[in-house]
């Protein structure tokens, strides 16, 4: 059933003022009820690796790459909209649809690559927790076990609604980066110009940073999570307008946060000639002598919240995907007895990630490069599958991609795939 917002608005305007307020409140609370998957998935992309990437961009290139955030917002909205639309229409997760349409062998290969890549990212999130806690003088040998137990208990013992509520609350921590960016006192006229005026340099390092920004923003696990969590929440075709609004709001908020990280490091580190940033924690430490201790601690709180959100979402995305691919029961409201594979995979990933993160002097940069390489190889296949599935008449019916939209998303897939392979080549060069 197609909803005409113009007719709805005209009908509402004909109502008495009191009834109009009631309708507006109802629509607001309906949105709050559906709010979740889009916001959580997009914000999980601002993990410790993403924060490190944004910090490096700001430190090395100042405001000159802020224009990239505009096409990134549009691209991520388009990709995630296709995923949530598929989830609402079919009632199936992305891995489930890939297995049905492309066969078991290809699905198994994709799941293996996703498992390895996600495990590396999970370890890096635990390292992010360790680095953030150490900024406040708390040992990683205390913070990592404590946070691991909290996240595990929340997911295994909680309900779908409770888990989502906690993840949404954690997402509010990202506001620290907005405050940090304002405290940095940037030149807002220069910032505005950088957003609306593309500045392209034909230098290898500059172009690589453009690719790295896109790679940190559009990741394979986000697409699996947003579709599976939409299905787990029981959304259907009638919820599509609000589901799309969730994706738009979540993506916009997440990339505004990313832009503010660039702004804060550009206004402090870059203008003072500090261009070497190898992690989010390094960026936080470097902010202290330039922007003051409060900026450092705000950055540290943001890093802790970002890592905590990602270390919950990424194992869940992996558990959803593998359970769907193998045809096992899944869901946040299921008990261990009802969904042993789903919750077992989640538990193993949390335990392994925590153990690896406790190893002294773990090579985080090398680990991120390896996972970046695997994700760079995997993302084009995921995007092609998403476009083909969402354009399939038999699967989507009247909700398939329209012809002009198909042309646009295939072009977008081609561009992102080319950039992804460039990132893959650079990652292999750095590794070896």
CB 304 within 8 A of CB 129: yes
Provide φ and ψ at 86, rounded to 5°. Answer: -65, -40
Whole-angstrom Cα distance, residue 217 to residue 261? 14
Whole-angstrom Cα distance, residue 92 to residue 345? 19
Using DSSP's 3-state secondary structure scheme, residue 390 falls into: helix
Whole-angstrom Cα distance, residue 427 to residue 376? 9
Whole-angstrom Cα distance, residue 46 to residue 355? 23
DSSP annotation of 377 reads H
List all residues 6 or more positions away from 234 whose beta carbon is below 8 Å from its beta carbon. Answer: none
Candidate CATH numbers 1.20.1740.10, 3.40.50.620, 1.10.10.60, 3.40.50.2300; the one for domain 39-431: 1.20.1740.10
Give the number of other Cβ atoms within 10 Å of residue 185's Cβ: 11
| Pick from 217, 222, 274, 225: nearest CA to 49 | 217
Model pTM above 0.85: no
Whole-angstrom Cα distance, residue 327 to residue 335? 17
| Pick from 287, 284, 286: nearest CA to 300 | 284
CA angle 407, 89, 246 (to 5 degrees): 80
CB 38 within 8 A of CB 274: no
Where do the structural domains in the chain lie, given as residue ranges? 39-431
Q: Per residue of the chain (432 residues), what is the pLDDT tens digit? A: 444 444 444 454 454 554 444 444 444 444 444 456 767 777 777 777 777 788 888 888 888 889 989 988 888 899 999 999 999 899 888 888 998 888 888 888 888 888 888 888 888 888 888 888 887 888 889 989 999 999 999 888 877 777 777 887 777 778 877 887 887 788 899 999 988 888 777 776 777 777 777 777 778 888 888 888 888 887 888 888 888 888 888 888 888 888 988 898 888 878 777 666 666 666 666 555 555 566 667 777 777 888 888 888 888 888 888 888 888 888 777 888 888 888 899 999 999 888 888 887 766 556 665 676 677 678 888 888 999 999 999 999 889 999 988 999 899 888 888 877 776 666 566 655
- Based on its alpha-carbon atoms, the radius of gyration of the chain, rounded to whole angstroms, reads 21
CA 405 and chain centroid, separation: 23
CB 129 within 8 A of CB 379: no
The H-or-E segment that residue 112 falls in is: helix 104-135
Whole-angstrom Cα distance, residue 199 to residue 178? 24
CB 343 within 8 A of CB 337: no
CA 284 and chain centroid, separation: 21
């Amino acid at each position: 059933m197609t909803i005409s917002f113009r007719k709805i608005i005209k009908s509402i305007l004909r109502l008495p003022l009191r009834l109009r307020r009631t309708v507006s409140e109802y629509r607001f609370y309906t949105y709050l009820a559906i709010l979740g998957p889009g916001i959580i998935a997009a914000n999980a992309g601002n993990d410790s690796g993403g924060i490190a990437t944004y910090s490096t961009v700001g430190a090395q290139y100042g405001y000159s790459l802020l224009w990239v955030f505009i096409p990134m917002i549009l691209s991520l909205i388009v990709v995630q909209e296709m995923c949530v639309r598929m989830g609402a229409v079919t009632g199936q997760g992305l891995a489930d649809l890939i297995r049905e349409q492309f066969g078991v062998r290809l699905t198994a290969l994709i799941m293996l690559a996703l498992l390895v890549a996600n495990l590396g990212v999970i370890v890096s999130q635990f390292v992010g927790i360790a680095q953030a806690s150490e900024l406040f003088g708390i040992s990683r040998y205390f913070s990592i076990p404590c946070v691991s137990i909290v996240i595990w208990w929340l997911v295994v013992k909680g309900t779908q609604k409770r888990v989502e509520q906690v993840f949404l609350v954690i997402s509010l921590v990202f506001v620290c980066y907005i405050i940090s960016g304002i405290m940095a006192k940037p030149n807002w006229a220069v910032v505005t110009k950088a957003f609306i005026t593309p500045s392209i340099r034909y230098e290898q390092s500059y172009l690589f940073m453009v690719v790295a920004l896109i790679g940190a923003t559009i990741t394979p696990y986000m697409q699996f999570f947003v579709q599976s969590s939409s299905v787990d929440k029981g959304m259907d075709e009638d919820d599509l307008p609000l589901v799309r609004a969730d994706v738009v709001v979540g993506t916009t908020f997440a990339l505004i946060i990313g832009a503010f990280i660039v702004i804060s490091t550009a206004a402090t580190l870059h203008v003072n000639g500090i261009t070497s940033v190898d992690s989010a924690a390094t960026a936080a430490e470097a902010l202290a002598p330039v922007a003051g201790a409060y900026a450092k601690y705000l950055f540290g709180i943001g890093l802790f919240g970002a890592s905590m959100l990602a270390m919950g979402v990424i194992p869940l995305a992996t558990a959803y995907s593998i359970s769907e691919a193998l045809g096992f029961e899944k869901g946040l409201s299921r008990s261990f007895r009802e969904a042993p594979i789903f919750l077992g995979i989640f538990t193993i990933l949390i335990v392994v990630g925590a153990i690896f993160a406790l190893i002294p002097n773990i090579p985080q940069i090398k680990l991120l490069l390896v996972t970046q390489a695997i994700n760079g190889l995997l993302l084009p296949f995921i995007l092609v599958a998403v476009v083909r599935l969402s354009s399939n008449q038999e699967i989507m019916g009247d909700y398939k991609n329209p012809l002009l939209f198909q042309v646009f998303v295939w072009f977008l897939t081609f561009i992102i795939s080319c950039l992804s392979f460039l990132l893959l080549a650079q990652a292999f060069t750095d590794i070896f």
